[in-house]
Structure 1
Amino acid sequence: MSLEPNTHDFEASLARSTQRSREIEAQVAKDPSKWRVLTGDRPTGHLHIGHYFGSLQNRVRLAGLGIDTMVLIADYQVITDRDGVGPIKERVYSLLTDYIAAGIDPEKVTIFTHSAVAALNQLMLPLLSLVTDAELRRNPTVKAELDDTGDRPMSGLMLTYPVHQAADILFCKANLVPVGKDQLPHLEQARVIARRFDERYGRFDPDAPVFPEPEALLSASGTILGLDGTKMSKSKGNTIELRMTADETAKLIKRAVTDSDRHITFDPENRPEVSNLINIAALCLDRDPVEIATEIGDGGGGGLKKLVTAAVNDYFAPHRARRAELEADPGYLHDLLAAGNAKANEIAEATLHEVRVAMQMDY
């Protein structure tokens, strides 16, 4: 079975997923108790404003609606495509700090790390038996990695990355996963694995599968580019990190790429760098980007950058203040993560027990 659709099939699938996302949003508004969300990040660096507007803000919204939410700090996934983990402990706590500073309530949301949940990782063994080598190599992320490796062999962990993601979702029986359209193939892999487990091994409960098939909640936010006009990336140094001070932010925006046309217009296709800065201001000010561009007019790049700097610093001032409070109490952060890991372990052990029973391995 191919998990890499052609263009026509992908567009059709995307249209269906978009429509289904709208239906889910309506259902969530009526009864959030039917859903469990799994989302998270790899601690390969510090979170930036692209993460905030692209996913973190939405996580706060979903949890605020009353949806049971699990947030994974995917520390094991750092080594899928890297030779080492870097300053991973610092980055794990940086993510945790930003989550809470952004408004995630740790009393209601379970925040946990991969490496602390043994039963989650043990699920990889039976789940790996449900997919073929060919299917994994056709996964877009794995295929891209394979194409980019050159003479360097791809690690087994990178090859099985889609199954690791499936285990992340299925261990807690999440039935809703916020994703961008490029992540739909990964979610489809998790759905395939859930179905195949039921078909091959039966059920823990005769009336229900062990694993529900997770659904996608497509992100509505557009892409925020980096300050150099290319894809925002921690490795490129073109991001505004949430932990940065107002002065650091101002210096970065001052160096942001614009163009030679002094008259400011919002034209993402022809003026991506200028339009990206306008879009950042629009997100922070909750305003229409065209109106912002019209307001700046002949103010040029300097006027645009001045507006963006003020908008970003004003918007994130409460986040930075809360972050400073949290950083001053590392014991509190440690206890929060320990509590989240303990809850995730309880859930994972219960699911692993169901898997063992279904596989007749409950000796």
Structure 2
Amino acid sequence: MTERKWTARAAWLVRRLGLRHALRTAAAAVATLALVTALALPQGYWAVVTAVIVMQANLGGSIWASWTRLAGTAIGAVAGALAAHWGGQSFLAVGLAVFATLSVCAVISRLRESSRVAGITAVIVILAGHPGTSALTMGMDRFIEISIGIVTALGVSAVVLPSRASRALEHGLATVFDDAASYFALVVEGRLHDDYVERQVFAIKDRILRTLARCRELRRESVIEGRGGDDGTLRSMLLYRGERLFEHILAMDHVAAEWRGQGLHRHLPEELTVLEGAVAAMLRGLAAHMRRQGALPETDTLSAAVGKAREKLAAMRRERAPAAYDLSEVMHFFSFMHGMLSCAADAGEIVRRIRAYEQEA
């Protein structure tokens, strides 16, 4: 095996096993421990715990986790300090501090993720106090320790094997287009050959849903990283088009799952087969291009397939072929065809947008 293949295989193994994230998290923990040891912080382990918690798979995720944890910690520290000042370590003080902390986090939607951290901080400030140490000092100590952990984690995330949400988003979108191609082909084949494979369809549909949800998170994190501008606009367009594609195929899926047997589709099996292959090939070529594994696909074959399908539909109307079927069959057929043509239009538009962007860049 050549050196290049060994390097590619090692890189794939690192990504597959999450070794990069593990190494970066370990580096953040060690760096934080060294810092709190040098500063002689009495409870510096809170900084180390924080560094491990806020270290995410990419810089944008780390920034988001850091901001929410820092804000939650501040709220919990203030609530805990006030409750301890007025109520000591009583049951009432703990209850009021936790209630107030979680209420504030619930009202501020962006802090809901940090509500548990905020509540824990409030409890620690009250119950972990020492004689002669004021609640305000306890709260300030916890806030400083956690801030040290956050800052160290962010520094390591930006320097040690940095990973960007924008690049992860591109890979996620490529996966969406790849899976959309498979989903599209499964649905069309299921309708053409009356062989709808429910288990396979469900699995790929679930995978696309989860990938799209992760892509939305990555889009937010890429904005936090400051990766906006024209690149950000292009990625937003790709995510929007990916969601539209999925919606079109879902509508086709409903028809394929519920409407079996002979129908209007038997009048144009060749055109539908060619259109299916053209759309699937376009989406797979697009995914490969986004992974830097191939050139941007041409739209000529797709345009020709769409043209032939539209010509056949027009001929069917002239021959009044739909008149031989009941209204339900006609509605299902044209709904299915609308979905196929919409997928073709979206695939072509995505390629044209990317080509225009790359030519201007």
After TM superposition, the score normalised by the length of structure 1 is 0.25
Larger RCO of the pair (alpha carbons < 8 Å, separation 6+): 1
* Larger gyration radius, structure 1 or structure 2: 2
- Which is richer in helix? 2
**Under a length normalisation based on structure 2, what TM-score does the superposition of the two structures give?**
0.25
Between structures 1 and 2, the one with greater strand share: 1
